[in-house]
Amino acid sequence: MTDGTGDWMDRVVAWWCQLLHLTKYQKILTQIAKFGVTGVIATAIDWAIFYVLVYLVGMEPLIAQLFSFLCSTLFNYYSNTKWVFNTTKNKTRRRLVTEFFILSAIGLGISEALLAVFINVMGMNDMLAKVLTTAVVMVFNFVTRKLFLEDRKTTK
């Protein structure tokens, strides 16, 4: 998305927008679709590492969450800054990295708190708690990254 040349996702969303007469929403729908694809991959990374650490290694779920979240965040940073959001036109790379990781740290705090409540207070299954936590943090991530990471001059 950052170079404006259009890729497979741009073409797919453009086709659907034309079909459904939603062309005025094409830019945001493309961004949401790209965020969704990168989110699915980041979630797979997060969940796989979490599962391995908890069920195969025997690590405490809240500690495993730190490691799995960090790995998925590194992937997410790269994909969000290169493919999803227009982030590099008016910001230094240092500022971008700082903002991204501050927002991710807040997301991690929300994730840890929700997992603790779901598992320790409500007695929920670890993986079910992880699914619910992921849904909440996903919404937080899209909204905050859209607001804070994207250059205002390049968006409508």
pLDDT of the residue at 155? 45
Task: Answer whether 47's CB lies under 8 Å from 67's CB.
Answer: no
pLDDT at 61 > cutoff 70? yes
pLDDT of the residue at 150? 79
pLDDT at 1 > cutoff 60? no
73-130 pLDDT, tens digit each: 899 988 988 888 877 677 788 888 888 889 988 988 998 899 999 999 999 998 899 8
pLDDT: which is higher, 56 or 26:
56
Question: How far is residue 80 from each of residues 32, 57, 126, 151, measured CA to CA in Å?
Answer: 11, 30, 28, 13
pLDDT at 4 > cutoff 80? no
d(CA 147, CA 67): 26
- 3-class DSSP state for residue 124? coil
Q: Nearest to residue 84, comparing CAs of 147, 23, 145?
A: 145
